[in-house]
Homo-oligomer: A and B are copies of this chain.
Amino acid sequence: MGSTARVIALAAIAVAIASSAFAQADPLPSWNDGPSKQAIESFVEKVTEEDGADYVAPDDRIAVFDNDGTLWVEHPAYTQFVFAMDRVKELAPEHPEWKEQQPFKAALEGDMKTLASYGKKGLVEIIMATHAGMTPAEFEAIVEKWIATAKHPRFKKPYTELAYQPMLELLDYLRDNGFKTFIVSGGGIEFMRPWTDRVYGVPPDQVVGSSIKTEFQDKDGKPELFRLPEMNFVDDGPGKPVGINQHIGQRPIAAFGNSDGDLQMLEWTTAGDGPRFGLIVHHTDAEREYAYDRDTQFGRLDKGLDLAPKEGWTVVDMKTDWKEIFPPEPKP
């Protein structure tokens, strides 16, 4: 054994000891003991047990997470929806016609109910008017600025502090066990990328989402990308498996969602051969967060609730399964 090899062996041993020292602590302290926590842990143990029948090689340990309502708060409205409304207000001076033109009028008046009545088409119209016409870097700067200052109407905190603590622990736990974690969201890919690494530990290239078209332009010898007011891809419902295939190129072995928009992702993931895991976060805690499922405009969970027991998916009851909802306050 050469000196390099010896040092590497030493490093490997030390890392192994460190890992097993970690393993002794509870990796999911914000999860109450119960069937959900048990299901997660037994899945992870099973696929990482090298001599076990259900062992999955690290390269195939792909886990996908929906974002809105699965990793962070999505009520009273999707965060990007609020962002888009704020963008309408900011751009309004350049668009006097918006005062009389729907769905912009509703956005300007903060009339979420009327706005929602225009459905997906209205939302797309607003996204096109507020998210395009700039470079990706310019859009990123706008998102960064907004996300640093905007606050949730009820919790009075930045949205990035309203990620779910148990899910943050789950992301870490999976990564500590050799999983590669991806976000697969119906939300805009470039609305998430500026902050997912900081908040979730998920780098930009591991974020899959909806997108608008981008074009390469060479203006006066300055090569640049430009965001066009045209949809490119809708990463929702049946779009999720398509987006996963396109971006990740592998069928995940574990999928985490909370609404019917995650149904096809859960189905496709858990229909694969070998050990599979599906989980739905059920919002049952009106006191600490929100309680909603079949009857809501944001994150409707209807078919998924019926399918879960048949498919063997774990349904997390936020009220009883989660000790904490949000990360602890940073010490002053």
> Which B residues are in CB contact (< 8 Å) with A14?
7, 10-11, 14
Assuming the contacts A18-B11, A264-B216, asked whether A180 and B205 have C-beta atoms less than 8 A apart, the reply is yes
Residues of A within 8 A of B (CB): 3-4, 7-8, 10-11, 14-15, 17-18, 21-22, 59, 136-137, 180, 182, 189-190, 193, 197, 203-207, 211, 214-216, 218, 222-225, 232, 238-239, 241-242, 245-251, 264, 267-268, 271
Q: Is A242 within 8 A of B271, CB to CB?
A: no
Docked Cα-Cα span, A11 to B239, in Å, equals 43
A225, B245: Cβ atoms closer than 8 Å: yes
Q: List 15 A-B contacts (CB under 8 A).
A: A4-B18, A11-B11, A11-B18, A15-B15, A59-B197, A137-B251, A204-B249, A207-B249, A211-B246, A214-B242, A216-B241, A216-B264, A223-B267, A223-B268, A232-B246
- A4 surroundings in chain B (CB, below 8 A): 18, 21-22
What is the CB-to-nearest-CB distance from A123 to chain B, in angstroms, rounded to a whole number? 21
Majority SS at the chain A contact face: helix
Determine whether the beta carbon of A245 is less than 8 Å from that of B7: no
Q: Which residue of B225, B241, B246, B264 contacts A241 across the interface (Cβ within 8 Å)?
A: B225
Contact of A214 among B214, B218, B245 (CB under 8 A): B245
A245's partner among B3, B136, B271 (CB-CB below 8 A) is B136
B205→A205 contact, CB < 8 A: yes
Q: Which chain B residues lie closer than 8 Å to A17 at the CB level? A: 7, 11
Chain B residue nearest to A10 in the complex (CB)? B14
Which residues of chain B are near A11, meaning CB under 8 Å?
11, 14-15, 17-18
Decide: B18 and A8 in contact? CB cutoff 8 A. yes
Complex partner residue of A242 from B3, B7, B215, CB under 8 angstroms = B215
User: Which chain B residues border A239 with CB–CB below 8 Å?
Assistant: 216
